[in-house]
Structure 1
């Protein structure tokens, strides 16, 4: 598997990352261990998790694997904070990117993972109730104390990302010890190309690498939902149904048919075509994919040798055009 630099940093990650959103809940320790073995054997290094995944169980599971036969040095560990595990009355997660919350969450993540540092630590979601400088001060402190090597943002808009990159730059107000903005993690697929309007160009200009989560359109681009909702799928799961349903639309169906047609012409699967499109998009250093089983993961990793022909990429670009115009292009 190709190894890529994260933006203009010295951090290197695999072009496909292993997501762990379902670990500890839908994916048990045996299945997770098999997935990680398959991933590492294929040359993968980036393992993406978050404090909120399974209320911390995903990190605990990774930690148990690291305590066993998996060498910490073989992994590039990415975790996220800024969303609290407690919930409001209506069931929504609590966004909290305050200094205390972030650093407490980081310490808890490290304890669950059984390691003294992360390779990349991300703020998971914008917090309008906390000044950005306070959030970034926590990131600077985490790097300064050795709890993480690099820092970044997840799901932030371009203007905030640019502001954060300016504040985190060594020449910025935090001073020469500021760690810089290494990466942004955003949803990016043939069904979600909104980040191309401003976020991806901003990240590239600022020297931040792009980690693309859900590059398979929350599983819809695999084609599994073309005719029905499989009983074993995420869309049939009570706690994941709402995650998939936004892409079970007529527009999405048209995109899936285009991907399926392209795949048939190439003698590949729709999954491989959709993944290759994101993986090799400008600015992307890693496409983070979650799998239900090791068998599914092997299917994902089969796309490693696929390079989309320019005419195929051009057609898919046209079919899924996000409509970039004024003022992004004048």
Structure 2
């Protein structure tokens, strides 16, 4: 399935079955399923596994690889590893790829390695480009709001990233509706191509519905890409019968905590799984399809530890239509969790 040398020949039919959605009103399109490079592209993952994941993704039309400066472990290692993959296998296909990265969380010690100052953001972008071995990224995000820095300064830094040619578009991550609207107005005045918001969103986590982000993004014509679409694995069949021995709950404290799987949450997971089965889908497929059903979410950002998971995720696109009754049941079940 995979080439034993540094030659890689992508599937010639890779664009046949993938859905591509515009980022709001912008011209840029993203695949409905994007590949997140947070969990499994650090130095603890074998390089051959990273090859399998990226080859499988690209062979099936996933053109967007999402990163951040601090993704690992160790911080920076995901960009370094994806940079190696681009250099060794994907360089001929660079113009078919969307590479995104972010800055906003702590990356180095001292007062200039965190949050949203102009110094931090532009220095971090330069470091990211060095690790990736690229002249530019397609999307550069501010990773989280910074209450200590004027929004005009942070947005001005994003503008500089574009005018310098180091980013084609910009995005915002973890903003709420009110701050998004203020930021969008500044970026519009600066004529910066701001196209996408990245936020946590899934059947169990409706924060973007409550804080105005989803409605504001739709009104302003900005895209949304969702992370944690499967609620750290809770919206899969993984926990239907309890916690498996190899779960991240037991092996990696960065992820899902055992107390998140209460009896009420497990009951909700099983009820959602029954509904998915009635639709002819797995719980994971239904959960991803639900995010895409109303046309407001541009892309679902899904990580994977195995190539098969990528194929399963793509399977969600075969049915993203829900009846009013199904949507009502999903809302009702999620509220009991």
Structure 1 residues 202 and 215, CA gap change in structure 2 (3 angstroms)? same
Partner of 2:99: 77
2:161 matched residue in structure 1: 142
Which runs of 5 or more structure 2 residues have no equivalent in the other structure?
Answer: 1-17
Q: CA RMSD in A?
A: 1.9
Deviations 1:279-330 (CA, angstroms, capped at 9, x unpaired): 32441000000011112222222222123431323321333359xxxxxxxx
Q: Alpha-carbon deviations, 1:245-279, whole Å to 9, x = none?
A: 56423443233122201122123211111111113
Partner of 1:319: 333
Over 3 Å counting, the alpha-carbon distance change for 1:129 and 1:6 in structure 2 is same
Give the ranges of 4+ consecutive aligned residues of structure 1 lying more than 6 Å apart after TM superposition: none
Alignment counterpart, residue 238 of structure 2, candidates 212, 216, 224: 224
Q: Secondary structure, in 3 states, of the residue corresponding to 1:53?
A: coil
Q: Which residue of 2 aligns with 1:51?
A: 69
Q: Is 1:36 matched with 2:40?
A: no
For residue 135 of structure 2, the aligned residue among 97, 100, 116 is: 116
Does the 8 Å CA contact 1:219/1:244 hold for their aligned counterparts? Answer: no
Q: TM-score, normalised by structure 2?
A: 0.87
Secondary structure of 1:153 counterpart: strand
**1:58 shift after superposition:** 0.6
CA distance in 2, matches of 1:194, 1:209: 16
Structure 1 length-normalised TM: 0.88
Q: Which runs of 5+ in 1 are unaligned?
A: 89-93, 323-330
Answering whether residue 201 of structure 2 is matched by residue 188 of structure 1, we say: yes
Alignment match, 2:251: 237
- Given the superposition, is the C-alpha separation of residues 304 and 293 from structure 1 closer, same or farther in structure 2, using an over 3 Å criterion? same
Q: Is the 8 A contact 1:9 1:182 kept in 2?
A: yes
Deviations 1:65-104 (A, max 9, x none): 101121222211111111122479xxxxx74210010001
- Deviation, 1:211, is 0.5
Are positions 1:275 and 2:324 aligned together? no
- The answer as to whether partners of 1:95 and 1:127 remain within 8 angstroms in 2 is no
